[in-house]
Amino acid sequence: MGLMKSFFSQTRKPEGLLGKMMLNGMNPGHAKLTDWGFGHLPALAPANAIDIGCGGGRNAGELLRKYPRAHVTAVDYSELSVAKARDYNRDMIAAGRCDVRQGDASNLAFPDASFDLATAFETVYFWPGLEKCFGQVFRVLKPGGIFMICNESDGTDAASKRFEGIIDGMKCYTVLQIEAALRAAGFSGISGDHHTSKPWIAVLAKK
């Protein structure tokens, strides 16, 4: 249990050799979920988008492809994740379309009303207080901006509930819990969707 716990705990903040091993699997491991999640976004033409908890950087890369006129900022509080995401998006960084920074969802170091779109894939499980962190996302979004959360867990599936007992600080939320925290943070126009055959959820909200 000790090694397994140490490995899976790297999903929270990848560090060291085990963190590198975890990161190597994140981009391909989350690809299907990410692609499903992107299918929920309405027609948008964002000038500036942010991916919070960017992991290995694929999600930021998909934002860059989906919105070829947008600048994308990727944020993660793991130094290893930042390095991996920078390597994954190195061409777009060189082209001036992408920026990857180390940061914390509970204290986003950006001015108010900086982004048109914010995404969070497989990350809110580890955010230190949903309402507080969602308040930070609300602050950095422009009026009318969209926030999308996409999780593999709907907060009730047995596999994810088991991982809650393995990974310190992990909390799997239901759609209703996420929606309530979004409303408390000031968001409106909230909608949630559940995959037809998997415990995947996507929740969208508008500032």
CATH of the domain at 87: 3.40.50.150
Rg (CA), the chain: 16
Residue 24: the pLDDT is 60
* pLDDT recorded at residue 25: 57
Q: Where are the alpha helices (DSSP H) in 39-117?
A: 58-66, 79-88, 90-94
Determine if the pTM surpasses 0.85: yes
pLDDT recorded at residue 162: 80
What's the pLDDT at 19? 47
- Whether 8 has a pLDDT exceeding 60, the answer reads no
Average pLDDT, the chain: 88
Decide: residue 165, CB within 10 A, 0-12 exposed, 13-18 middle, 19+ buried: exposed
Q: Domain residues for 20?
A: 2-206
Digit-coded pLDDT (tens) for 59-97: 999 999 999 999 999 999 888 889 999 999 999 999 999
Domain count, the chain: 1
CA 60 distance to own-chain centroid: 10
Neighbours of 69 (CB within 10 A): 8
